[in-house]
Chain A
Amino acid sequence: MFDLNGKNALVTGASGGIGGEIARVLHKAGATVALSGTRVEPLEALAAELGERAHVLPCNLSDGAAVDALPKQAVEAMGSVDILVNNAGITRDQIFMRMSDEEWDSVINVNLTSTMRLCRGVMRPMMKARWGRIINISSIVGATGNPGQVNYAASKAGMVGLTKSIAYEVASRGITANCVAPGFIATAMTDKLTDDQKDKINTQIPAARMGTPEEIAAAVLYLASPDAGYTTGATIHVNGGMAML
């Protein structure tokens, strides 16, 4: 099950904890992977770890022209993009009353607009191939909201609506579009929290712990696989029961 041999996957935010693990898992299942992100060093390190079937494609997702060019670069490197994982995301947290246009725009641009651009960029060849997998990494806060994250929550909820609409349009062409919505996941970002902060978070999670990048990657692997051909427009919530949606 979940055999990705012969499939080519583009993963954004592959320099991060979750994105890197998604790339590893897809690669392990047999896919060729294009690793995208802003920081080249971790991408190179991951590519070296993976060995064959790994390409590094740095891209600044706040640059619209660079985003539009990325699918083409991925096709040049791998021959096609059969699986697109929009994982990259940024936060610019701020109390709403104080939120600046710049804080709003930057988060919407990187998280939502770049997702739209990349989906658009891969759509034509996927339509022709009559096969494609789009997996957008949303967030629990897109469904629940979160104080201080009006911009981030809006971008992540926006991804869900975008994904569902794409799923409608292209379902008849063998292309699926789905979201994975992580809850609290242990990464370099959450390592910075104090034990006290972590304990507080854990009390809100029925599973009483943070999730792991592997647990997100497993959901992505399923959605990327040929076995998930009848799953489209869905959001898989991977959050330890923190929000049962």
Chain B
Amino acid sequence: MSDVADRVKKIVVEHLGVEEDKVTESASFIDDLGADSLDTVELVMAFEEEFGIEIPDDAAETIQTFGDAVKFISDAV
């Protein structure tokens, strides 16, 4: 697993309080990991800080799963 994926997973695990093995490629933050809409905003904020990037709102809306997040961030950094 890439360095980006590791760091993203760490944030997701810490923020949502879920088991690491639940955070799979296709795991949806809201449907599978129990996030509410505010959690997703906070996750995006945490990603922005961790990776020093800006994630515009329209892009943030497309980040639904752990895999989406890793892909977006990998492309952005």
Contact = CB atoms under 8 A, between A and B. Distances in A.
A172 B36 CA distance: 11
B45 A169 contact: no
Interface in A138-189: 169-170, 172-173
A200 interface: no
Nearest to B45: A124
A127 interface: yes
Interface residues of B, number: 5
Interface residues of A, number: 7
A98 interface: no
A107 to B, nearest CB: 29
B38 interface: yes
User: Which secondary structure dominates where chain A touches chain B?
Assistant: helix
A172 B38 contact: yes
A128 B38 CA distance: 12
User: Which secondary structure dominates where chain B touches chain A?
Assistant: helix
A170 B39 CA distance: 11
A127 B42 CA distance: 8
Contacts of B38: 127, 169-170, 172-173
Interface string B37-58: 0100110010000000000000
Interface string B10-38: 00000000000000000000000000101
Contacts of B36: 172
Nearest to B46: A128
A127 B43 CA distance: 11
Nearest to A123: B41
B11 to A, nearest CB: 13
A124 B48 CA distance: 12
Contacts of A169: 38
Contacts of B42: 127-128
Nearest to A169: B38
A43 to B, nearest CB: 32
Contacts of A172: 36, 38
Interface of B: 36, 38, 41-42, 45
12 contacts: A124-B45, A127-B38, A127-B41, A127-B42, A127-B45, A128-B42, A128-B45, A169-B38, A170-B38, A172-B36, A172-B38, A173-B38
User: A-B pairs with the 8 shortest C-beta distances?
Assistant: A127-B42, A124-B45, A169-B38, A172-B38, A173-B38, A170-B38, A128-B45, A127-B45
